[in-house]
Every structure is written in C-alpha cells, then in structure tokens.
Amino acid sequence: MRTVDLIQRKRNGEELSPEEIRWLVEAYTRGEIPDYQMASFLMAVYFQNMTDHEVGAMVEAMIESGERVDLSSIPGPKIDKHSTGGVGDKTSLIAAPLAAAAGVKVPMVSGRALGHTGGTLDKLESIPGLRTNLTMDEFRDVLSRVGFAVIGQSESVTPADGKLYALRDSTATVESTALIAASIMSKKLAMGLDGLVLDVKVGSGAFMKRQVDARRLAQMMVTIGRRNDLRVQALITDMNQPLGRAIGNAMEIMEASQTLLNSGPEDLTRLSLELAARMIFLGRVTETLDDARLMAQNLLLEQAGYRKLKEMVAAQGGDPQVLDRFELLPNAPMAYEIYSPRAGYVAAIDAEEIGRASAMLGAGRDRKEDTVDPAVGVLLEAKVGARVDEGDLLCRIHYSDEQRLEEAVERIEDAFRISTTEPEARELILEVVG
Ligand code: URA
C-alpha cells in the first residue's frame, strides 16, 4: 500500500477499506508515515469526511495501537466522562470527583489543550508535582484506592491518538466529526468502561458550531459506544460563552476547587452536577436519574467531591494544599484589565476568541512540541446578561510575556459585545442523546 494513493483516494471522496485505515494508523503510529503525509490525509478527511464504516475501522485501529486495559479486578462500576472540547470547561475536575464520592470508579483518559480549547491534562499538570504519565500499575492503584485517576494517551493506551491529536492540533484538522469521534471513542473503549457520559459542546467556542453537527457527532459516538456494549449518554451543551469565569490552566484548577466547595459560578456548578448525576445513574448507584441528581447535590454540599479531588491530587504526586492555598499554584506576574466601553448589557462573549487569546498568552500550543504556561489566562468579571456601566471591569488578563499581550487584548476586546437591549437567556443543556 502507498500512503500517497490513500491520501489521493480520500481527497477524491472515496471510501477506504478497514484494512487500508488500519494500515495507515499502524504505520503512522510506528513512525513509518511522516507527519506531512498524515497531515495531508487528515486534511482530506476534514474536507471529505468519513463513512460510519471508516470511523468504526479507525476507532478499532486506534485501540489496537496500544493495549486494552482490563479493570475488571477493581470492584465497582467504571464510568468516565468526556467533553468534545470547550473554553473554560473544567467540568471533568468537578463531576468526576463527585461521581467517585458516590462510589463510581472513574478511570479517566484525558487530552491536552487542542486548538482554542483547554485540556484536562494541562490543567492538572499545573499542580506542582502532579503526574499524569502514570504506569498502568500506578493508575490501577490510584483508581482502586481513590476511585478517580487521570492519565493521558501513552505508549500503552491508544498511542495512535496521542500522535494524531498533536498533529491535528498543529495542522488545523481538529474540527472533523469523524476525527473527534474516533479520538474520543478509541481512548474510552480501550479502558474497558461500563459507561460513558459525553458532553458535546456546540457554539462559537466549540468545534461544532451548529447544533445539527453536534447532534451528528453525539449520535456517532453513542452508536460506536453501543456497538461495543458501552452504556453511553451524550448531553449537547452551549459553548457560546466560556463556562464559568476562569480560562487558563492553573486558574481553572482554582475555579474547580471553589466549585467543589459550592462557591463556584452558577453555570459551571449546574452543568457539573448534571454530568456527575448522569455518571452516578449510568453506574447504577441509584435507580433513577432524579435520585442521582439529589445524591450529586448532597455530595457537593458535604464537600465530598472536594475531598475526593484532594485525595486524587495527592495520590498522583501533587500537592493537595494547592486546592485551598492558591498562592501555591503558578500565578502570572502581570495583569491587564479590560473595561466596558459603554453602558448596557453583555450580549455575547465569543468563546472561541477568548480561547484563542488565552492560547496566544501561552495556555495552549502553536506547535505540537510547545510547552504551555500554566499561570496565564483570562478571568471574566462579567458574563452574558450582566448589566454594566461604562468603565466597569469586564475581565482581567493574567500574562507573563509582554509581547504576547497586545494581540490577546485586541481579541478579547472584540469578543465582548455590549448592547443596549438585554439578551435572551440561553439554555445551557440543549439536548440529551442516548
Ligand atoms: N477530545 C478528544 O479527546 N479528542 C478530540 O478530538 C476532541 C476532544
């Protein structure tokens, strides 16, 4: 087989066979196909899409690029949660410890910042000492002791996703339903889960800008999961403005901690509770979803999720004190404030622009070998619907490098739309699929 022939056929909109897809994924993972050819193939997929058969074959090949993890020796339902990517989306760090506190085991395989969106691994690694590159034995140990453990793709688990994810991030090929579904579902199926709650984001800060595309992605992932005997539910949720107030790695750890202490932003708290409830329900800890909602709410009030997150941080080598002493986390040395140019209502905060600005400040990557700056980010002081006067503070930019500030400021100023009319309230949870 010649890579160039497969690229050409995909570029022309043809369907590739499962053998051809498998060959591509295997050869790329082994380093036998150069990045420039794989990038070209991904761009062809971006424009031509993939059939359900091709996506199924891609998921299978990506799982087979590493080991299938057997967690059956660890008692309890194994339920994970995954987001398709958003701005300020730190719900994993809230929903997972709440579900773990309810008795669910959460073996989480997370990703890094992708495009303008953040990644749970980068957020967690802003905690001094915390490791996400656990060996499988360490991962099993944390999972059975704490009930919640987080790793990334590695040499052993879906290494193909690790390589493809980084390549997509630096070649503008992230926003493809097929590639997102294959990336997420391969990681999740490799873990031998019992259930999975998906948060499919839609809106300016999401990879899917239209609800119809988000629904298609949700249906695709639910179908792949069901074919593999996985209990799956997907929520389609609004990502037109950032979730919560903090955007940036260490700042999002601080906000997750505040939310687990029940003093977080309303939108973040509400969505995290719903995701936790669905994890608890899929884990069959309760008989009804309403009981699961009540349980998640009570666990939040008892600070049980907060204690669970602390346990997990300590078990993965991090300093758990950072969750109440924020000065122990990386803090950016400089701050720049943006004020409202006029009186009115905040009518929109373009999440993609805020995400891009934050990535530009150093919270994300330009090239796959770049490292992120854990301290930088944006803190929103006003959210959509807020009434502001001229000169009121809209947000604070936390930055470390003067040269990166100017363009970020422009983007953030453009992201805010101030209007004289009060915007209509938007639903946060738009649909449930599955
Ligand atoms: N999350 C993933 O793991 N992969 C994607 O492609 C997008 C979001």
> pLDDT tens-digit profile of 41-51?
999 999 999 99
* pLDDT score of 210: 95
Question: Last residue of some domain: 326, 348, 382?
Answer: 326
Alpha carbon 46 to its chain's center: 20
pLDDT digits (tens, 9 = 90+) for 242-274: 999 999 999 999 999 999 999 999 999 999 999
pLDDT digits (tens, 9 = 90+) for 154-166: 888 899 999 998 8
Instruction: Clarify whether residues 192 and 289 are in a common domain.
Output: yes
Mean pLDDT of the 316-334 span: 97
Instruction: Clarify whether residues 314 and 212 are in a common domain.
Output: yes
Strands 393-399 and 377-380: antiparallel
Instruction: Clarify whether residues 352 and 408 are in a common domain.
Output: yes
Q: Which of 165, 169, 237 to mutate to test the pocket of ligand 1 (most atoms within 8 A of CB)?
A: 165
> Which run of H or E residues covers position 417?
strand 416-419
Atom of ligand 1 nearest to the CA of 183: 4
Instruction: Clarify whether residues 395 and 371 are in a common domain.
Output: yes
Instruction: Clarify whether residues 206 and 314 are in a common domain.
Output: yes
The answer to whether residue 129 scores a pLDDT higher than 80 is yes
* CATH (domain of 320): 3.40.1030.10
Question: Last residue of some domain: 326, 359, 382?
Answer: 326
Question: CB neighbours of 313 closer than 8 A, spacing ≥ 6?
Answer: 124, 127, 130, 319, 320, 322, 323
The answer to whether residue 368 scores a pLDDT higher than 70 is no
> Which run of H or E residues covers position 377?
strand 377-380
d(CA 259, CA 306): 9
Question: CB neighbours of 135 closer than 8 A, spacing ≥ 6?
Answer: none
Residues tagged active-site: 82, 161, 168, 183, 187
| H helices present in 65-176, as ranges | 92-101, 120-124, 136-146, 159-169
**With a 6 A CB cut-off, is 119 part of the ligand 1 pocket?**
no
Does residue 56 sit within a domain? Answer: no
CA of 179 to the centre of ligand 1 (A): 8
Q: Report the nearest-CA residue for atom 2 of ligand 1.
A: 184
Mean pLDDT of the 78-107 span: 97
Mean pLDDT of the 31-37 span: 97
Instruction: Clarify whether residues 316 and 364 are in a common domain.
Output: no
CA of 84 to the centre of ligand 1 (A): 5
Instruction: Clarify whether residues 263 and 162 are in a common domain.
Output: yes
Does residue 429 sit within a domain? Answer: no
CA of 341 to the centre of ligand 1 (A): 37
d(CA 47, CA 107): 34
Instruction: Clarify whether residues 234 and 85 are in a common domain.
Output: yes
Higher pLDDT, 379 or 118: 379
Does residue 431 sit within a domain? Answer: no
The answer to whether residue 233 scores a pLDDT higher than 80 is yes
Instruction: Clarify whether residues 302 and 390 are in a common domain.
Output: no
Residue 160 contacts residue 25 (beta carbons within 8 Å): yes
Q: How many domains does the chain have?
A: 3
d(CA 156, CA 49): 28
Prediction pTM value: 0.94
Instruction: Clarify whether residues 261 and 396 are in a common domain.
Output: no
Q: Report the nearest-CA residue for atom 5 of ligand 1.
A: 180
**With a 6 A CB cut-off, is 118 part of the ligand 1 pocket?**
no
* pLDDT score of 173: 94
Instruction: Clarify whether residues 139 and 102 are in a common domain.
Output: yes
* pLDDT score of 130: 98
The conformation of residue 425, written as its DSSP 8-state character, comes to P
* CATH (domain of 391): 3.90.1170.30
Instruction: Clarify whether residues 150 and 176 are in a common domain.
Output: yes
Residue 431 β-bridge partners: 236
Percent of the chain with pLDDT over 70: 100
Does residue 63 sit within a domain? Answer: no
Any idea which residue has 């080598």 for tokens?
317
Range of the domain at 378: 329-419
CA of 197 to the centre of ligand 1 (A): 14
